[in-house]
Amino acid sequence: MTEFVHDGAPRAGGRPAGRHERPAAVLFDRDGTLIEDVPHNGDPRLVRVLPGVPEALRLLRDAGIPTAVVSNQSGVGRGLLTEQQVRLVNARVDDALGGFGTWVYCPHRPDAGCHCRKPKPGLVIEAARRLAVPAERCVVIGDIGADVLAAQAAGARAVLVPNAVTRAEEIAAACCTAPDVLTAVRGLLGPGPETVPVVAETWGWDR
């Protein structure tokens, strides 16, 4: 079993990243974090929200913390789907989860050399700009090491929520992990009647 863990590593600027320091915004990876990962999905009918995500978003909205989605969508650059299909899937996720402050995605191939594709920081920086908050006061929640590295490159914090394809070395390298998105959000919000961390015995989904 794994629970929300933070090792207190320094943030950009040298201040410790306290476990209960509330973020100015929370940025989510999409596939494998908010919804089941269907590789290069262009069909909104295949969207399946992962357990605990709606409750996690409700807690953030109740706390007045804005949210965004930052997502690599290289299927566009690979010719496997169109940007219109990505937008349709994003719209379905918005409908299912009540809407996010902004969506930012990278359509490029991994070898394109762009500045936006995670683990580069471009998506995180742009989402923070659109939400009008400093990038270093954001937290990125994702399921692979690229999400963590993109946050770190932007000066933000990150919580890794592993699943069946998260590599062991990515988990070992992450300073903050949680077994699911709801636990991650409860940990970020700090102690309280609705934010006591819970423990999940299994992750129960595949990418």
- pLDDT one-digit tens code per residue, 11-58: 333 333 444 579 999 999 999 999 999 999 999 999 999 999 999 999
- Residues 40-58, buried b or exposed e (16+ Cβ, 10 A)? bbbebeebeebebbbebbe
Check residue 201 and give its pLDDT: 27
- pLDDT one-digit tens code per residue, 152-198: 999 999 999 999 989 999 999 999 999 999 999 999 998 754 433 33
Catalytic residues: 29, 31
pTM of the model: 0.84
User: Is residue 125 predicted with pLDDT exceeding 50?
Assistant: yes
CA triplet 177, 182, 187: central angle to 5 degrees? 55
